[in-house]
Amino acid sequence: MRDGGIETGVCPFEGIEAGSSHFRSAVMSTKGGAMLEPTDCRPATRRMLGAWMLVGLAAAVAVATLTAGTVAAAPASGPTCGTKKVTMNAYVETGFAVPIDLMNEFHRQFPNVTWKIRQDAFAVITQNAPLVLSGPNPPDIMRLPQVSGLVKDHLLKNLDGYFKAFGWNKFPASQLSQVRMPAVGRPRGTGSLWAFGLNYSLTGVFYNKTLAAKVGMTTAPRTLSQLDDLLAKAKAAGVTPIVQFNGGATGGLLFPLQQLMAVYGSPAPINNWIFQKGGANINTPSNLAAAKHLEKWIKAGYFNQDANATDYPTMMSKFQHDEGLLIFDGDWESGNLDKLMPGKVGFFLMPTLGAGDKHTGMSAPLTYGIAAKAKHADCAAFFFNWIATNAKARAINVRVGGSNPGGPPSLPIPVQKKGSLISQTLAAGKVVAKENGAMDFIANATGAIYAQSWTPEVQKLFAGQETPDGVLSKVQDDYVSQVKSGS
């Protein structure tokens, strides 16, 4: 079925089970996009779920008009998309406008390229990545979970040739280190390049300024004890201190948990665990102190009571409707909140244990890869390079995604309005970079650790059915098994 520039009900990955129906597939684009509900796709023998779109110049423009026009000039060196008509298959994460907006802009500049896009929640993508990538018609580009197992199973294209062809050696090495590894899949941080960051995110704490005034918050807390005091004041004032998602297959309590881990300890051992360095262990005294602190917040009633039934879109809706003072989240929401709640939201980095301690934050690439059997791998790599180097693409990444666009340091980061939420998160990123406090996400340690280990454990912790020590012990045991099996 076609609706302007959007096509739904398409089954490009025929024969692959794509996940469960309780995940709503939706994407919002600022220009030429749409909000889509999931479309059931029913081949003769199997059922596939997830929304698909054919992206062109704009959602309201007929597909027939999208391939008209002159193809934009391509760089003289390196692979390109060519001049013939190309339809790219993409698999993206639900609810994030940046990839869709980038693909629309790419079509404007290269009208011969159209995009057929499938969307799913990240938990579904994590669960189904091996099946999708090993299927008979895998996506050209795909949002990726932790990639070690996918590399080990030869499901991703090695990008070393593109690294050389496009001159990605001009990028800071740290931008690409998280998606480097040997062909055996571990350890991460060195070896061949297997994926690419569409942008580079940062996590922290967003706060509702209206509710902040109500509870007497005049400045952002600088230490953990000050944050504890703020949460207590909010609770006493009848305001839900923290709204957080933790429902379904999405363990959103990992956001505050990991931030607390880096408050009580150093980010370096956490990164070693995520990168599967030898002897790495998540069950440490400092991480146990962090888990106990999270449990203290839970028992004090600082989270929304229905956190275990709250998915990510619901959390954002609650926050936008003044139902909670804080959310632990990432800068990818900055542009969205600037539009929906202009001037009403602030951002601060996770407070430190002591005054003057170094700040930390989860910071990772918005990771996408190219299937080993992709039909249009050169065009996909050209798209990656365009994202990092094209002025309009970089502007979209900042304006819509609120994130650092990465790429060569010689290229400027598009200037944002002073005082905007995006300007605040970009400034916070500079602090974390200066203080060397960046961590990858603990959900990325193995391909299975998020859905099969962290999520059920933090859900049980919230429900009072697990202890902090039990969470870390179970996750570490699973981690050892998963690293050994390559899952």
Q: Side by side, which strands form the sheet with 365-370? A: 51-55, 113-120, 86-93, 141-143, 365-370, 196-200
Q: Which of 86-90, 296-300, 349-353, 364-368 has the lowest mean pLDDT?
A: 364-368
Kindly report the pTM of this predicted structure: 0.77
Domain 2-200+365-423 falls in which CATH fold? Answer: D-Maltodextrin-Binding Protein; domain 2 (3.40.190)
Residue 36 pLDDT exceeds 60: no
**141-143 and 86-93 strand pairing:** parallel
Confidence class of residue 25 from pLDDT cuts 50, 70 and 90?
very low
CB contact at 8 A, 472 and 393: no
Q: What pLDDT is recorded for position 225? A: 98
Q: Give the span between the Cα atoms of 450 and 455, in whole angstroms.
A: 6
pLDDT digits (tens, 9 = 90+) for 104-127: 999 999 999 999 999 998 888 988
Confidence class of residue 103 from pLDDT cuts 50, 70 and 90?
very high
For residue 405, give the nearest of 206, 204, 193, 175 by alpha carbon. 175
- The CATH architecture to which 203-363+427-485 belongs is 3-Layer(aba) Sandwich (3.40)
Q: Give the span between the Cα atoms of 13 and 135, in whole angstroms.
A: 7
pLDDT digits (tens, 9 = 90+) for 448-481: 899 999 999 999 999 999 999 999 999 999 999 9
Q: What pLDDT is recorded for position 91? A: 97
Write down the domain spans for the chain.
2-200+365-423, 203-363+427-485
Q: Give the span between the Cα atoms of 100 and 31, in whole angstroms.
A: 10
What is the mean predicted confidence (pLDDT) over 232-240? 98
- Token match 């579904």: residue? 124
> What Å distances lie between residue 141 and 26, 195, 237, 273, 466, CA to CA?
19, 10, 48, 27, 39
CB contact at 8 A, 318 and 324: yes
At residue 312, what are phi and psi to the nearest 5 degrees?
-65, -50
Domains 2-200+365-423 and 203-363+427-485 share a fold: yes
- Token match 């991460």: residue? 188
At residue 326, what are phi and psi to the nearest 5 degrees?
-125, 155
- CB within 8 Å of 143: residues ≥ 6 apart: 91, 92, 93, 99, 122, 125, 366, 367, 368
Question: Which amino acid is residue 360, in one-letter code?
Answer: T
Confidence class of residue 245 from pLDDT cuts 50, 70 and 90?
very high
Q: What pLDDT is recorded for position 64? A: 29
pLDDT digits (tens, 9 = 90+) for 393-438: 999 999 988 889 999 988 988 888 888 999 999 999 989 988 989 9
pLDDT digits (tens, 9 = 90+) for 62-93: 222 233 333 333 444 689 999 999 999 999 99
